[in-house]
Structures are given as structure tokens and as C-alpha cells.
Amino acid sequence: MIKELHTKLVNGKITSVALTEEYFSRIESRDAEIGAYLTLMKESALVQARAVDEKIKNGEEIGMLEGIPCAIKDNICVEGVRATAGSKILDNYIAPYDATVIRRLKEAGAVIIGKTNMDEFAMGSSTENSAYQVTKNPVDITRVPGGSSGGSAAAVVADEAVFSLGTDTGGSIRQPAAFCGLVGLKPTYGRVSRYGAMAMGSSLDQIGPFGKTVEDVALVLSCIAGEDSMDATTAEGAHKPYESFLSGDIQGLRIGIPKEYFSEALDPRIKRVADEAIEKFKRLGAEIVSVSLPNSEYALPAYYIAMPAEVSSNLARFDGVKYGLRVNDNEDSIKKSNNLLETYLDTRRFGFGPEVKRRIMLGTYILSAGYYDAYYIKAQKVRSLLRHDFEKAFEQVDLIFSPTAPEVAFKIGEKTDDPLKMYLGDIYTITANLVGVPAISFPMGTLEEDGKNLPLGGHLMAKWFDEETLLCAADAFEKGFK
């Protein structure tokens, strides 16, 4: 889709201003029902679009993303624009700088049209935990779009943005992509700078793109990936044109099928669609190999120990002193120790929602004296075991395949009273974050429920820093799927 729009811009069939206005028109007509956006940036977007049109008019070459409207998850900073992370505690926060990914998008000439809704501080799998609104799945508005990047996914599938950025700590890009019938990529940890993304779990978070095609996702990755002096965890290496690896040829590629992911616990209807996807990979020339990830049963508990511990640490900064919401806003009174404590307590009590409080309390308990070794250290040891499992599996195969989620998009409100049931939906995605490998969700079929064909996502994981093979395989499947 991006290439098609680029060609139209270059050939003068459309202008970036007209294209941008068309997307704002769709947002105006549809988004009251969908709820994908929290903040719109029409004035600055049109300024960006006019600059692109002027370049084309002057006969200058434009890049592939130049003039293309996109949306940004609201926990990624855009200078001069409100960044709430879906939380009341940051309701009045205006980002004073651009995240590295935003700077790179701006340098590439992309037109940023708005900030999208999300589960508060990226904690959730349904975008029902936002302090502002519930985002609906445009495929079926009675269902969730997934989370925590549900607004970013909904914006793309509703044609309210060409592509979008989200963040993924345990599946927050891939699960919404699966629920909405999109392509969503979590790059290798360190492939994309996290500078300017509000931290949830620092050893797990990654920024990545949503698109309608694998090619769109590859084009965006080419723009945002690369080493960054502002993020010490980014890996060295030159920028790559990831779209150039989409050859459609996966002859001889070895795809691993972990027996642990295809147990009797998997819904037989979803297993049937996944089996059909495996057969399709075979027809495309891939070799299917059975593999084992023996420690995968411990991934979910390890994740829900490591992640809340990092949440507790990262969210300590939101105390009502330097920025964001402050309750008991009296400079003289908060200097007194007892009133300062009251300010901390009241600000966090009113500023944070139930899920954020739940994870902070879990994490604080995990890190407390007497429990740190029993829980947090043990979870880190499990991560090491999981990494060993993946290293061993990747000696036999190039990719690992499974469904993205154990279900289709569920009804709004269906799981809000049962957090554990919600957490179990992350079972196929969290392992990629725990071990840091790149992973992608792509449409692999549909499942009929309530008379509607709901999307199902296929999930591929690759070796560390091998996004090329990952994208190539997903692209080959997409082309063969049509």
C-alpha cells in the first residue's frame, strides 16, 4: 500500500495534502465509534504534507514514506504533543522532545496525524484499560482490538492511517495485529531505539510497526531501525533496506513447529487453521521440522514476575513532583515530609488505574526483602533456560511457527473481571520478549463466530537480528495466501 501511494504521489495523481485530508475525513466520520485516537495533529500534519508536495512540485525526489499519513501510540514522545500513555497521571504532559523513531520518521518525511489510544502504560491485552476510552475492533465493534497497542491497530484496519507504530512488551503489537487482521512486527531487542518510549519493562519493550502488508512493515522498519547513541541497548550495524529481502522464495527454509505450542490445550478450530498454514508453507517450498522448547511452560509465570518487577521500578518516577498530575498541589505544604508523602499517595491513587496499581503492587512485592531471590532471580534463571532452548532449536531450524493467540478477538468486557484469564492470552507471544528474538504476526486465516469471519494471526519467530528471514517468510505466505 505504501509503494502504491508513493507512486501516485510521484506521478501527481494525488497530493500529500489531499491524502492527509482524506484520512482526517475518515477519522472524523468513523473514529467516534472506533475510538482509535486520543490526540489529532491536523495542523502540523498538513504542514508536513505541504512540504512534501512542494518538493514534488520542484521536481525533487521523495523517499518511500514521504507524504504518507501514519499514527503513533501515545507512549511514544512527539515533541510539543500531549503524551498520556493512556493514563490520567500524564493527562497534562506535553513531550519536550522527539523519540528517536519519531525523529527518523520526520526525517523520512512521514506525515504524523495523531496519537493512538492504548492500555494504560501498555498494561493490558484489550485496550480496555485506557483511562480515556475503550477502543473497538473495526472488524467487529462488539469486540476488542487487542492490546496494549489497540489504538494503533484499529487506526490502520479502519483506514484511519496507512501505517502505525506500537510498542511490544509481551505481545502488544502482535496480538492486536492478529485480532485486527494486520501485520505486526516486534523487532529483535536492540534493533530499534527505545529512546522516547515510556518504559514499562525495560528489558522487554520494543517499538515496532503495524501495516496491511509485510512490505509496508518492512519499509517502516528500514526507516526506524538502527543504532542510537541515546539508547545504549541498541545494536551496532548499518541501516538495511528490509523490503529488498522480500523475494517470495522460501525454498528449503526450515520452519520449526514446537510440540509444546500445539498441545491438546489449543482450540482445535485454531489448530486446524494453523495446520492449513503449515501445509501452505510446505507448498511454498519450506521444510517443516518438529522442535521442542521444553521450558516454555515456565515462560508465562516468569514473564509475570519479571515484567511487574520492572513496572514497579519504572513507574516510581510518576510521583506528582516533576511532571504530570499532582494532587495536593501546594508548593509550601509539600515541603513538609508528611504532606509530601500524602502528595505521593494521593497522586498515585487518583492518577493510576486498577491494572497499573495491580502490577506495581505485584512488582513491589516481588522485589521486596526475602522475595527477590525467590521470585525475581528465579525468573531471570528461567529466561536463561528459555534462551538456551531457542539456541538449540535454531541449530535445527530458521524460524519457529505457532498461532499468535489462542483465540480470536474476544467481546468487550468479557475478561475485565478476570485478569488471569486475560494474562493467559499472551502464552504464544511473551517468549519472544523474554529471549529477545524478532517475531511477526501475519493473517493466516479466519474463524467464524457470531456469523462473522474473524481474523486469526500466524506467528513466526526468527534468530536474533534475522528480521530479513522473518519478513521474507511472512511475505511469501502473504503472496501465496491471496
CB 167 within 8 A of CB 206: yes
What residue type is 294 in one-letter code? P
Q: Pinpoint the alpha helices (H) of 213-327.
A: 214-224, 268-283, 299-314
Distance CA 461, CA 215 (A): 17
- The span from the CA of 372 to the CA of 370, in Å, is 6
Q: Is the peptide bond before 148 cis (omega within 30 degrees of 0)?
A: yes
Report d(CA 273, CA 278) in Å as an integer. 9
Q: How far lies 16's CA from each of 21, 74, 112, 163, 279, in Å? A: 8, 24, 12, 15, 42
Whether residue 114 contacts residue 37, with contact meaning beta carbons closer than 8 Å, is answered with yes
> CA angle at residue 159 from 137 to 157, to 5 degrees?
35
Q: DSSP secondary-structure letter at 115? A: E
> Catalytic residue among 87, 125, 126, 148, which?
148
Grid cell, residue 188, equals 529483535
Catalytic, out of 172, 296, 312, 402? 172
Point out the catalytic residue in the list 16, 55, 73, 296. 73
The C-alpha angle 193, 88, 354, rounded to 5 degrees, equals 95
The sign one gets for the Cα dihedral 443, 203, 229, 190 is negative
> What is the DSSP annotation of 396-436?
T-SEEEEESSSSSPPBTTSSTT-HHHHHGGGTTTHHHHHHT
Classify each residue of 384-411 as buried b or exposed e, where b means 16 or more C-beta atoms within 10 Å of its C-beta. eebbebbeebbeebbbbbbbbbbbbbbe
**Cα–Cα distance, 432 to 151 (Å, whole number):** 22
- Residue in the structure block whose three cell numbers are 502488508: 213
Distances from the Cα of 132 to the Cαs of 14, 121, 139, 228, 472, in angstroms? Answer: 35, 12, 21, 33, 38
For residues 467 and 219, what is the distance between their CA atoms, to the nearest angstrom? 12
Residue 322 grid coordinates:
516533576
312 labelled catalytic? no
Question: Is 149 a catalytic site residue?
Answer: no
Is 444 strand, coil or helix? strand
- Active-site annotation holds for 482: no
Residues with active-site annotation: 73, 148, 172
